Structures are given as C-alpha cells and as structure tokens.
C-alpha cells in the first residue's frame, strides 16, 4: 500500500512545539511505511502570510532533520484548480453568494434565542442561513462575493477511517450523518470575497492533487475533516485515511498559538537545544 503524507503549515508566524510534533510524527510515520513526505505552504491568506515566515518554516524543518520530496506546493499558485472546483459546485446549485459580515452573523445567530449562546461549528458561529434563498443560482459563478455551501442540499451520509483519535476518543470508522453536517457545521464559506477559495476547499483539492493517502494533523481539525470528506465526495475525489493527534499544550492546558513566541522552534534553536531535545519535549 502506498503511503503519502504531508505537512501543510501557513506562513503566518513562527512554527511552535505543536507544529514540531505534527511534522515529526508525520515524517516518522512516512519513514516507517517507506512512504513519501511532502510539504505544502498554505498561503491563501495574503494579508497574514509573510515571506520571512515561509523562509523560517524551511529553516526550522531542515534543522529538525525533515526532508520533503519534490517541489513544495504553494496554494497561491493553485487558483485555477480552486476556480474550476467552485464552478463545478456552482453548476450543481450547491453554492450561494453571501455578503454577511461577522457582526451580521453574530446578530442573526443569537436572535432566535436572545441571551443564550449561539451554536459554534469548526469555523466559529454556525451560519444562520440569512442569504441562503436570496439569490438565484443561475448564470456564471458570481465574483467579488463570498460563496457558501448550501449544506441542506449537499449533506449526505458519509464516513472516514481514523487511525488516531478525535477529541472525544473517536477512532476507527467514523460515521458522518447529514444531521451532523447541517446542525453542527452548517453553510461554510468555500470562496472568500478576496480569494477564490477557502481553507476547506483548498486543502481538499491540494491533498488530492498531491495524491495524499494519509492526512496526519491535530485533533483541532477533527470536525473540519467531516467537511473535507463531504467535499471529496461532491467533487469525486478519493478520501485519504486520517490520523488526528493530541495537541501540545502549555503549562495551563491551553493549546499553543503562533503568537506564543516562547515556544517557537526558532527560539529553542537559538537557545542551543538540539532537534532531539525537541523530540523529547513533544513526547516522541
Ligand atoms: N494550514 C493548516 C494549519 O496550519 C493545516 C491544515 C491541515 O493540516 O490540513 O493549521
């Protein structure tokens, strides 16, 4: 069986111990399976991505002893693939334009149950559906607007194979019901106003284009995987096997963030740590 995995960081800040764990785990699993390890730079957020962070990713990975095969894929080079998939979904009547601001969504999401907490999905507040029926879905793909997936139309029963575990210990064959998708995820953004794509769309198309057979990443993306499996199904792409791993946390139990410079790999590097010290710190 072939084994191809990848590390897919966004160059929006320094890689920290959590990234070190994720990439070393994926690299070790690829080595153990005599498989392939690829690198992809997820740079669709042009306002937050910076060349210096991309360079630091290469430097950190090389220092950790990680070697990737072939050329690095960069999402900013992949616009034609994203636009083509958006056209496919648009022509199936599964997308609709939406110009709601975060504030509009927060107001609409809390309106029906004033005072109670509106439900959260993988992308924050679950979209309350304000624009779902506002626009006909004929003609060419709309430009200069966000596009959302009509989850009620798209949802279907699905499943994927989990070799790690979800945040509640979910493992093995994971079932996704239409109700999961409509109630816990909702109409997610597949194309942003400023970029023809979104994290969910790009990651699915890029994993397929890089022939990824095993996705190894943090448990924080377990719910997002349900969206990715749905998009693979809608676009006729294969579903890889998924391995979600536990997150590295700080002393207070909070997961590490990019602004948490104290745990940046580069900081440990300049403080004289060895790559093996990092392996020990993350429990490998
Ligand atoms: N670019 C994502 C991140 O830095 C990773 C997405 C993935 O591994 O699928 O969190």
Distance 129 CA to ligand 1 centre (A): 27
Q: Is 10 in the pocket of ligand 1 (CB under 6 A)?
A: yes
The CA angle 118-225-41, to the nearest 5 degrees, is 110
State pLDDT tens for residues 255-280.
877 777 778 999 999 999 999 999 99
Is the per-residue pLDDT at 115 higher than 90? no
State pLDDT tens for residues 17-76.
999 999 999 999 999 999 999 999 999 998 999 999 999 999 999 999 999 999 999 999
- The greatest distance separating any two alpha carbons of the chain, rounded to the nearest whole angstrom, comes to 60
Q: Is 9 in the pocket of ligand 1 (CB under 6 A)?
A: yes
Give residue 206's pLDDT.
98
Q: Residue 45's closest CA among 19, 12, 83, 86?
A: 12
* CA atoms lying within 13 Å on the CB side of residue 47: 2
Q: Which residue lies with its CA nearest to atom 10 of ligand 1?
A: 9
Q: Is 39 in the pocket of ligand 1 (CB under 6 A)?
A: no
State pLDDT tens for residues 154-203.
999 999 999 999 999 999 999 999 999 999 999 999 999 999 999 999 99
Please choose from 7, 10, 11, 227 the residue to mutate so as to test ligand 1's pocket, defined by most ligand atoms within 8 A of CB.
Answer: 10
| Domain residue ranges of the chain, discontinuous segments joined by + | 1-76+252-284, 78-248
What fold, for 1-76+252-284? Rossmann fold (3.40.50)
Rg of the chain over all Cα atoms, to the nearest angstrom: 19
Rounded-to-integer distance, Cα 36 and Cα 212, Å: 9
Q: Which atom of ligand 1 is nearest to the CA of 9?
A: 4
- Tokens representing 109 are 């999401």
* CATH number of this structure's domain 78-248, picked from the four choices 3.40.640.10, 3.40.50.620, 3.40.50.300, 2.120.10.80: 3.40.50.620
């Amino acid at each position: 069986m072939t084994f191809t995995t990848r590390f897919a960081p966004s160059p929006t800040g320094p890689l920290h111990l959590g990234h070190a764990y994720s990439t070393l785990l994926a690299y070790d699993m690829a080595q153990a399976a005599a498989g392939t390890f690829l690198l992809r730079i997820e740079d669709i957020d042009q306002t937050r991505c910076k060349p210096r962070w991309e360079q630091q990713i290469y430097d950190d990975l090389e220092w950790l002893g990680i070697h990737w095969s072939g050329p690095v894929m960069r999402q900013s080079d992949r616009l034609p693939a994203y636009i083509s998939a958006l056209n496919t979904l648009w022509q199936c009547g599964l997308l609709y334009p939406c110009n709601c601001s975060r504030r509009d969504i927060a107001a609409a999401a809390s309106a029906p149950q004033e005072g109670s907490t509106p439900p959260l999905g993988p992308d924050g507040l679950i979209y309350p559906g304000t624009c779902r029926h506002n626009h006909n879905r004929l003609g060419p793909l709309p430009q200069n607007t966000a596009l959302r997936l009509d989850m009620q139309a798209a949802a279907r029963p699905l499943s994927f194979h989990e070799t790690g575990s979800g945040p509640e210990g979910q493992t093995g064959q994971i079932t996704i019901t239409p109700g999961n998708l409509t109630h816990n995820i909702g109409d997610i953004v597949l194309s942003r106003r400023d970029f023809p794509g979104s994290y969910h769309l790009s990651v699915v198309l890029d994993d397929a284009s890089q022939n990824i057979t095993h996705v190894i990443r943090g448990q924080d993306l377990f719910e997002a995987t349900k969206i990715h499996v749905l998009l693979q199904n809608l676009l006729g792409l294969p579903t890889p096997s998924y391995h979600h791993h536990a997150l590295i946390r700080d002393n207070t139990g909070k997961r590490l963030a990019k602004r948490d410079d104290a745990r940046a790999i580069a900081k440990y590097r300049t403080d004289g740590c060895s790559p093996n010290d990092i392996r020990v710190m993350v429990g490998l």
